Amino acid sequence: MSEQENGSWNRNRPLSRAWAARAMGRFLGATETSPQTGEPGADGSSVVDCGVYVAGERIPGSFTPDQAFAEVRRRDDAFVWLGLHQPSEHEMTEIAHTYGLHELTVEDAVKAEQRPKLEQFGEVHFLVLRTARYVPHQELTESSQVVETGQMMIFVGDRFVITVRHGEASEMTPVRADLEKQRANLLEQGPWAVAYAVTDRVVDHYLVVAEQVEADLDLIEEGVFSRDRSAPIQQVYQLKRELVEFRRAVVPLQRPLAGIIASQGVVPKEIRRYFRDVQDHLTRTVEQVSSYDDLLNSILQARLAQVTVDQNNDMRKIAAWAGIATAWTAAAGIYGMNFEYMPELHWRYGYPGLMAFLAVITVILYRAFRRNGWL
C-alpha cells in the first residue's frame, strides 16, 4: 500500500484545533481532556490522543491519525500510538483503511462484545481485554452494582499501536504520561511496550477490584453469621452475580497472555519478561476470585441452612401452641354438644373447675414444650 493510499481519507483537510484538543479519558466520571489544551474534544471525535514516538521520545506537534502514520513512514525507529474511546463505526472504518486493519477487527472494536483473546490478521495482532472497576456504594443491597466491566482492544502493528477503550474503567492518560516521562527506555521497544503497559494497568485494576470485593465479602460473612443475621440471602446472591461478571473478565485473559509470552520473533524478548510479570499478577487475581467464589458458595449454603433451621423452629413453635390449644378445643367441643345428661353440667362449680383444669393442662404442656426447646 502506498503512502498516498494510507493517508487518503483525511490528507487534504487542514489540521483543525479540535484534533489538538482531544479528550484524554474519563475515570470515575471525569471528562477526558487533551494533554496539550486540557479541553474536551469539540467535534465529538473518539480520538483521545495521537502521538508519534521516535526512539522512545514523543515528537512535538499534533497529528491526525493519517498524518501521524505518514510521519512515521518517513522516519526510522518510529511508531504511532493512537488512543480511541468508544469510536463510531464510520470513524473506525476510516482508521482501519489508513492503518490496514482487518474488517472483522473493526466490527469487534465497535461492538465491544468480545471475550479476552489474541488474534493475528496478517502483520497486525489484535488483543482484547475486559476492563473492570469497583463501583462504590454505601451498603450492599440485592440490586447493588459492585463491579462494572468494559473492554479494551489493542491493535499492534510494526509501526503503530491503537488502543480502543469502551467503558469508564482503566483510562489510558496515566499510562501514556508514565511512559513518556519516566519509562522512555521502555518505549524504545516499540508498539509492544505500549501493549504491555496497557495490559499491566488493566490487570492492576483487577487487583484493586479484588481487594475491594473482599471487603464486601467480609461484611456479608459477618452479617450471615451474626446473631441478628442482618444479611439476607438476596445480598449474598447479588454479590455472587457480580463476582461471576468479574470472573468472566479475569479468567479468560490467561490464554492470550500465555500466547504472547510463548511467541517467538514477534514480541521482543525484553517485553515478554514484562508480560510474565503481568501474568503473575493475573494468576494471583484468578486465585483470589476462585477463593471468593468458593467462600460465597459456602456462605450461600450456610444461609440456606439457616433459613431451613429457622423455618423448622417456627414450625415447632406453631405445633407446640397448637398442642396447647388442643386441650381447650377438646373441652369446648365436648361441652358444646348440648347433651342433657353430661357430667358436672348442673354442678355449681363446674365452669370454674373446668377452667382450672384447662389452666393446669396448659401450664404442664407449656413447661414440657419449653424444656424440649419447642418454645
Last residue of a domain, one of 305, 331, 346: 305
pLDDT at 205: 92
Number of independent structural domains in the chain: 2
Same domain, 38 and 94: yes
Neighbours of 281 (CB within 10 A): 15
Same domain, 16 and 157: yes
Same domain, 161 and 262: yes
Same domain, 336 and 190: no
How far apart CA 161 and CA 214 sit, in angstroms, is 35
Same domain, 97 and 236: yes
338 CA to centre of own chain: 74
pLDDT at 35: 39
Neighbours of 246 (CB within 10 A): 26
pLDDT at 20: 32
Same domain, 184 and 316: no
Last residue of a domain, one of 305, 322, 349: 305
Q: In the Cβ-directed half-sphere of 87, how many Cα atoms lie within 13 Å? A: 26
Same domain, 34 and 83: yes
Same domain, 191 and 322: no
Same domain, 314 and 299: no
Residues in the chain with pLDDT values less than 50? 1-42
Same domain, 312 and 296: no
Same domain, 59 and 86: yes
**Residue 322 belongs to domain spanning:** 306-371
pLDDT at 230: 59
Last residue of a domain, one of 285, 305, 325: 305
pLDDT at 229: 62
pLDDT at 8: 34
* CATH number of the domain residue 53 falls in: 3.30.460.20
Same domain, 236 and 310: no
* CATH number of the domain residue 367 falls in: 1.20.58.340
How far apart CA 126 and CA 90 sit, in angstroms, is 19
pLDDT at 146: 87
